[in-house]
């Protein structure tokens, strides 16, 4: 795995346990078992299918963002995206994002720093869409914070998150439209703060990072990425909708959009690998706010979490094995990226 301080790992575990406590507090295990036993798991099949369709659209979006660097087919991108999901689900600190950047370099020769720029852009747009899902349902969000018992004022968190994501998006758009000025500002104000021995290496990384933002230089291109991101998250909400039919409750599609937005924003909080707890607690809170019995809400959320985790993780593991790359190779290639401004190829 990518080096991670032990205290950070255990801090994530502690946070997951805290969220699990709030998720399962006051819940009878017998009631949860009954909810799970009575579920109609055939509904998972169309749920998983629509989810994989969303992953395919993600692969298309990444292909679109990478076009200024190199034209790569969506079919070639799909296995790499699946590997990235697998890495995020198994390794801490969303290490799957680095893993897919490394594999893309191994396959296509695109520098890690440039592809990571496109991945960060993806995440910023995802965050903006998630916040949009939340704000479309502000009246229901008031019910959530008032009645569900979920810790914290989620409306305040949403406002802070909006400022953070919109600020990051603005920075990326400006840097993409004016790369020379962005590089000049970096050279003038940031680079002098670093030790001189790192100047050439850092400047090379920044130049390639700015190159990865090239797809955002046109408002039309940025709008296309945004619209694609909406489609991706609507498809993922479609999975929530299909899995809902496996359990004896029904809420609106908009309610599931709200749940999707909140749980995915919550998973940005450091946690144990697999987003244990940070996914489950807010998901159960949303459903109980809509009057769903807590045992049913917990059963649905846990099954949904497993259905989101297992299929894509298995598929990503298959593609990684077929790729013939070990995690240690990925780490070595990331280090090589920092040592040289020239493109290199990772050795299998």
**Cβ–Cβ < 8 Å for 212, 115:** yes
The least confident of 72-86, 98-112, 146-160 is: 146-160
For the chain, the average pLDDT equals: 83
pLDDT at 273: 80
Q: Nearest CA to 332 among 99, 170, 58, 65?
A: 99
How far is it, in rounded angstroms, from Cα 286 to Cα 39?
Answer: 20
Closest CA to 222 of 138, 112, 124, 344: 124
Q: What's the pLDDT tens digit per position in 207-251?
A: 777 777 787 778 888 889 999 999 999 999 999 999 999 999 999
DSSP 245: T
Between 12 and 118, the higher pLDDT residue: 118
Query: Quick one: pLDDT at residue 1?
Result: 41
Q: Left if phi > 0, otherwise alpha if psi is -120 to 50, otherwise beta: which for 339?
A: alpha
Contact 290, 255 (CB under 8 A): yes
Residue 190 scores a pLDDT above 70: yes
> Of 129, 127, 171, 154, which Cα lies nearest the Cα of 257?
129
DSSP 189-221: IIGGGS-GGGHHHHHHHHHHHHHHTGGGSSHHH
Instruction: Grade residue 159 by pLDDT with cuts at 50, 70 and 90.
Output: low
Q: What is the pLDDT of residues 5-32, one digit of tens each?
A: 566 677 777 888 888 888 788 777 888 9
- Threshold 0.85, pTM exceeds: no
pLDDT at 4 over 60: no
pLDDT at 47: 97
Q: Where are the domains of the chain?
A: 16-339
pLDDT more than 70, % of the chain: 83
pLDDT at 127: 86
What is the predicted pLDDT for the residue at 131?
83
Evaluate whether 136 touches 254 at the Cβ level (below 8 Å): yes
Query: Residue 202's pLDDT is what?
Result: 81
pLDDT at position 164: 73
100 touches 59 (CB < 8 A): no
User: Is residue 329 within 8 Å of residue 347, measured between CB atoms?
Assistant: yes
Query: CA 66, 71, 77: angle at the middle one, nearest 5?
Result: 70
Is the alpha carbon torsion for 330, 323, 68, 228 positive or negative?
negative
- How far is 227 from 224, CA to CA, in rounded Å? 5
- For residue 346, the model assigns a pLDDT of 33
Q: Tokens for 34?
A: 């009954």
Per the structure block, which two tokens stand in for 196? 């001189």
The encoded tokens of residue 129 equal: 């869409």
pLDDT value, residue 242: 98
């Amino acid at each position: 795995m990518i080096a991670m301080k032990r205290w950070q790992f255990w801090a994530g575990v502690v946070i997951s346990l805290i969220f699990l406590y709030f998720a399962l507090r006051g819940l009878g295990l017998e009631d949860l078992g009954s909810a799970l036993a009575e579920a109609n798991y055939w509904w998972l099949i169309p749920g998983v299918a629509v989810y994989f369709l969303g992953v395919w659209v993600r692969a298309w979006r990444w292909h679109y963002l990478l076009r200024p660097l190199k034209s790569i087919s969506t079919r070639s991108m799909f296995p790499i995206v699946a590997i990235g999901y697998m890495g995020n689900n198994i390794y801490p600190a969303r290490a799957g994002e680095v893993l897919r950047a490394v594999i893309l370099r191994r396959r296509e020769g695109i520098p890690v720093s440039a592809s990571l720029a496109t991945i960060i852009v993806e995440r910023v747009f995802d965050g903006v869409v998630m916040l949009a899902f939340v704000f479309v349902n502000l009246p229901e969000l008031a019910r959530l914070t008032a009645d569900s018992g979920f810790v914290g004022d989620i409306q305040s968190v949403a406002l802070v998150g909006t400022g953070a994501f919109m600020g990051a998006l603005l920075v990326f758009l400006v840097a993409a439209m004016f790369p020379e000025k962005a590089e000049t500002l970096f050279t003038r104000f940031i680079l002098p703060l670093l030790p001189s021995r790192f100047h050439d290496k850092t400047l090379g990384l920044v130049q390639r990072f700015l190159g990865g933002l090239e797809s955002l230089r046109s408002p039309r291109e940025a709008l296309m990425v945004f619209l694609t991101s909406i489609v991706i998250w609507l498809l993922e909400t479609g999975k929530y909708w299909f899995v809902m039919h496996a359990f004896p409750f029904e809420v609106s599609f908009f309610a599931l959009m709200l749940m999707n937005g909140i749980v995915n924003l919550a998973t940005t909080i450091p946690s144990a690998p697999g987003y244990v707890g940070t996914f489950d607690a807010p998901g159960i809170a949303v459903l109980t706010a809509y009057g769903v019995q807590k045992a049913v809400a917990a059963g649905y959320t846990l099954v949904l979490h497993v259905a989101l985790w297992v299929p894509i993780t298995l598929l990503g593991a298959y593609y990684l094995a077929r790729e013939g790359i070990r995690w240690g190779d990925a780490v070595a290639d990331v280090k090589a990226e920092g040592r040289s401004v020239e493109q290199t190829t990772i050795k299998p």
